[in-house]
Structure 1
Amino acid sequence: MSAKKMVCKNKIRYGILDRKEVVYVTTDGKYNIEFIVDKDMWLNHLNKYNWTASMANNRATVKTSIKGTTKSVHTVICEIIYNEEDMWGRSVDHINVNKYDNRVSNLRLVSHRINSMIQQNYENIKIYETQNICGKTQYMSHFMINGKRYYKNSVNKEVVEQFINDNIHNIFNKREQAIKDAEKKERIYELKRSIKGMLENNEHNELNDILKDLLGIDILEKSILPNK
């Protein structure tokens, strides 16, 4: 007897974004969150499942259940487009910082450490509603990027929105540069750790084979390292 097939209850609407066909999907259940996916990804893969949302710390996570395991929509998509080796030890970053934009072009893999760093810096780019001492409503945006503090406070929400818009290009340029710098440093550290580990374990031949394959350098032939 075949297993019961999950019925998709999500409301959808089709649209065009950046000249490509997309699907706007609304989560089913208590929280109705609209998220974006590529049309072909929806039709070929994602419409097999029912998508819901959970809420924690004013943040919604779009998720489904696959073979008894709860998975977020961006994780499901990345498991389709990447292999296990690519996914190992890495997190999914939304390039435009919109967690509900799950188009393939907006998803990339970064290390857990880099993901933690950029989330701390960029998830707070939003507008907060507060009350001043006179009881009047105020709107505030306050965040830090690469050591530079951005701050705007006004009784006019449009003023704060304009402040963010005026700085958004600079903000995302700094974000991309911070990621590139962190990834470069991470690659260097990983390479140093790998070479150090191979030397400590007398894996000279293995290291020699790698350098010959990548750079055409035979360190044993040049007597740079002793044979085992």
Structure 2
Amino acid sequence: MERIISKNSFYYGEKEGEPCVVFLTGGKYKYEVFVDIESWNSYLHKYHWTISKNGNYLKVKTSINKHSHSLYKLILENEYEELDYWGLTVDHKNRDPLDNRKSNFRIGNSKLNVMNISSKYAADDMHLIYEQGQKVNGVKKVYGYKVHTNVYDETKYKHFKTIEEAKAYRDNELIPYIREMYAELIKKSRDVEFERGLRDKLKNGEINEVLAVLKKYGIID
């Protein structure tokens, strides 16, 4: 076997009687994460994995081209056909976000990742804008503003010196981009659902049902 070099320490172990790789996350939080051996040896070892923590919620992630990418999503993209996961929810059967073996994935009901452009901060016009500063002698000193959001899989993050610059960027560039991307995702969702249904019917030998639908809408005579 080719020697595997990784930025995360790891060892070959097992989980629930199945052989797997156990790696330790880097950064502030140290957790053991479980993945399939083939996935680790093939591509997962190439990235530096860390943990983000929000209360009891844990997310195993890495950075690819300066964008945050979750572990389970990278596995899906590499090991499943897009038709099998796009627009669907994915959870962990044992509810352990650190157990990312494929046998622990469950692909669930259809879900379009809605990019909401409404906000509880709309009243003071600070939606997607965050003050950057620090407290000096108990008084917060603001030295700039950041505009930050996730547009589906893409992270949008930009700093500005003034609130006027931040709002102009948000209103004239970011929100129109979010609306454009959302419209594209709606279309892709329809396309994927159609192709997924067609594929499943053909796999089940339901050719007559497919022909009936095509005739109904005048695609064929």
TM-score, normalization: structure 1? 0.47
- Judging by fraction of residues, say which structure has more helix: 1
- Judging by fraction of residues, say which structure has more strand: 2
Query: Quick one: higher RCO (CA 8 Å, sep 6+), 1 or 2?
Result: 2
In our comparison, the structure showing a higher alpha carbon Rg is 1
TM-score, normalization: structure 2? 0.48
